[in-house]
Structure 1
Amino acid sequence: MRVLVTGAAGYLGRAVVSALTEAGHEAVGMVRAQRPDIVHASAIRIADLLDPIALRRAVDGVDAVCHLAGLTRVRESMTDPLRYFGVNTVGTITLLDAMAAVEVPRLVFASTGAIYGDVSGRPITEDLSDSPPHPYASSKLAAESAVEAHHGATVVLRLTNVAGGRDPDPTRLIPRVLGAAARNEPLEVNGDGTTVRDYVHVADAANAFVAGLEHLPPPGATERYVIGSGRGTSVRQVVAAVENVSGRRVALTHRPAVPEPSSLVADPAKALHQLGWVPKHSDIAAIVDQMWHAYSG
């Protein structure tokens, strides 16, 4: 299939382009305002999610869309919520209109496991109720509702914490710990460092988009899948993994605890069984080892 990847210049977008190409598909990258060098992209198309004319040109001639473009920072969404709804929700609706205009019915949509909110330590499955705790999650849930209403053949992937490779976001935990180790600086953490999260390797997350594309439901149907490693890793365990691979101690400075779920861990059984997707690279030790060498190499 010829597949348009929105957000193709991003951390996950580049990995999705590579995974699609490796699987035998033709990946066309969509970016906002420039033509970056995206390895394995057969072409680059420029369009903003809020520009319906440019979007219609971008989707013309493709068979399917992997929609990753959007805003993703939780704290930023709390201070600028309308911008998040504008880009993540309205932008997705504008994309759906463009797809309908040129009759592109197939879609794999990047969403977030944060939509479930605080699940009180239960494994995150597709059967849990939605309870978005911040505007970022709410804007993605609203976009999901629009996706479901557009009557195409759609797969929604609710992703956990994507990691691995050269993650460009210094605000995420693993890059912060790696940076502290590299600079021999203390690391500030909220509370006692026992908060547990699920980390999925960026290559595994990218392969979930390929699996979703190749296992789309019938026209008019939408399937949701939780995508994660199925393993929980605490802040302290991430620090220990970084110390092990770097050979450097990372001193912790404890700030007051903040209200947040104590444990968020995916149960990706549905994706494993229905999509044949397997997180092959998502062991935390392997993730940290690869990222350390990517940053220090």
Structure 2
Amino acid sequence: MAVLVTGGAGYIGSHTVAELLEKNEEVIVVDNLEKGHKDAVLGGKLIVGDLRDKEFIKNVFYKNDIEAVIHFAAYIEVGESVSNPLKYYNNNVAVSLNLLDAMREAKVNKIVFSSTAATYGEPENIPILETDRTMPTNPYGETKLAVEKALKWSDTAYGIKHVILRYFNASGAHISGKIGEDHNPESHLIPLIIQAALGKRDSIKIFGNDYNTPDGTCVRDYIHVSDLAQAHYLALQKLRRGEDSAIYNLGNGKGFSVREVVDVVRKVTGKNINAVDAPRRPGDPAILVASSEKIKKELNWQPKLNDLETIVATAWEWHSKHPNGYDDK
């Protein structure tokens, strides 16, 4: 039986597909390739189609022997979600409801959901715990939280068991150098700094230098994308054991400031990157770091690539070979 990976041609999805293939899993990827890339799918069966089409997704289940779902397909730009919230509700929430409906009809009762630590909003604690209150400060976080709640009630009503994974900044690239991060537009810090190292932008902006942090710049949690992929596989194994639904944070356990990240990229690339101070962005908390103690304890998750230099080095390896991203655009 196959594992269905929605959004499996995207950044984290493609790395999770790679992890599943390494574990000799049968994989089916569904992606409309609006944001994803065919070249990022290293194996398995790719079905190109839009999950907003109810009949399409029901057909996928009808025509394939699917055991479980790992669900990534979503829009992820926080700023865009604020300016166009209905786009995010129409995609992120409606797609997930279509998927759950198709799972219910096909009697598929296991789903791993790629959520976000943005569901917490302004943190109550540092590091953030799974039991902390959820109060998103943007529509992106709200849409992910809405799906989390739909999962909870789908478990109660239909017995569809779930594992929800909440995390912040996926970073780096596959150790093989075959796949990496290619967003358009790019909004993540490490690839933006690497673009400056490659000469694709004149400078990198540091938004705010007067936060209550050691060097005045925001502190964030960075986690290697392959470590995230491993966590999705462990979550799948938990569901296969017939265990109860659960929510886990994924994080590095410690944060790095924007200046620290810029300095590490300078060190790894050997490039003189121009960093320019800019005003704070509204709504940026000073520190966002998640605790991963629960998933380490319950699922024995052990990140292997959690050193920031290693994360940046894998990203640099991919971006320096693919300065314009994937070739399939």
Deviations 1:144-164 (A, max 9, x none): 111111121110111221010
Counterpart for residue 239 of structure 1: 262
Q: Which moved more, 1:29-38 or 1:189-198?
A: 29-38
Query: CA separation in 2, counterparts of 1:49 and 1:156?
Result: 20
CA contact (8 A) 2:8 2:41 kept: no
Match of 1:282? 306
Confirm whether residue 78 of structure 1 aligns to residue 82 of structure 2.
Answer: yes
Q: Report the Cα distance in structure 1 between the residues aligned to 2:114 and 2:203, rounded to whole angstroms.
A: 34
Paired residue for 1:182? 198
Name which of 247, 272, 275 aligns with 2:296. 272
Q: Write the mapping of 1:106-255 to structure 2, written as runs, cut at 5 A.
A: 106-119=110-123, 122-151=126-155, 152-165=160-173, 166-169=180-183, 170-183=186-199, 185-192=202-209, 194-216=217-239, 221-255=244-278
Counterpart of 1:24, as a letter, is: N
TM-score (norm 1): 0.94
Deviates more, 1:244-253 or 1:59-68: 244-253
CA 1:277–1:59: 2 relative to 1, 3 Å: farther
Aligned in 2, Cα 1:251/1:147: closer, same or farther, shift over 3 Å?
same
State the Cα deviation string for residues 269-291 of structure 1 (Å, max 9, x = none): 11111111111112111111121
**Unaligned regions of 5+ residues in structure 2, if any?**
174-179, 210-215, 322-329
Give the letter aligned to residue 10 of structure 2: G
Secondary structure (helix, strand or coil) at the match of 1:27 reads strand
Query: In the alignment, what sits opposite 1:8?
Result: 8
What SS is found at the alignment partner of 1:63? strand
Q: Which residue identity is paired with 1:29?
A: V
Between 283-292 and 40-49, the greater mean CA deviation after superposition: 40-49
Q: Does 1:68 align with 2:92?
A: no
Residue aligning to 2:177: none
How much has 1:40 moved relative to structure 2?
4.2
Work out the CA distance in 2 between the residues paired with 1:279 and 1:220: 23
> Would the aligned equivalents of 2:196 and 2:204 in 1 still touch at CA under 8 Å?
yes
What runs of 5+ residues in structure 1 fail to find an aligned partner?
A: none
Letter in 1 for 2:253: G
Q: Aligned-pair RMSD on alpha carbons?
A: 1.9
Structure 1 residue 180, shift from structure 2 partner: 1.3
Query: What displacement does 1:220 show?
Result: 9.4
Q: In the TM superposition, what is the alpha-carbon distance from 1:59 to its structure 2 partner?
A: 2.6
Q: Secondary structure at the match of 2:163?
A: strand
Are 1:45 and 2:47 an aligned pair? Answer: yes
1:218: Cα distance to partner?
A: 7.7
Distance 1:222 1:143 in 2: 14
Taking a change above 3 Å as real, the CA distance of residues 294 and 38 of structure 1, as seen in their structure-2 partners, is closer
TM-score (norm 2): 0.85
Q: How far has the Cα of 1:46 moved from its partner? A: 2.9
1:46–1:58 contact (8 Å) kept in structure 2? no
Q: State whether residues 76 and 140 of structure 2, in contact with CA within 8 Å, keep that contact through their aligned partners in structure 1.
A: yes
Change (3 A) 1:212 1:256: same
Cα distance in 1 for partners of 2:254, 2:307 equals 8
Aligned counterparts of 1:40 and 1:290: Cα–Cα separation in 2: 18
The one-character-per-residue Cα deviations of 1:217-263 (angstroms, maximum 9, x if unpaired) are 88694210001121201100000101111222222211111231100
Aligned residues with identical type, % of pairs: 36
How many correspondences in the alignment? 297
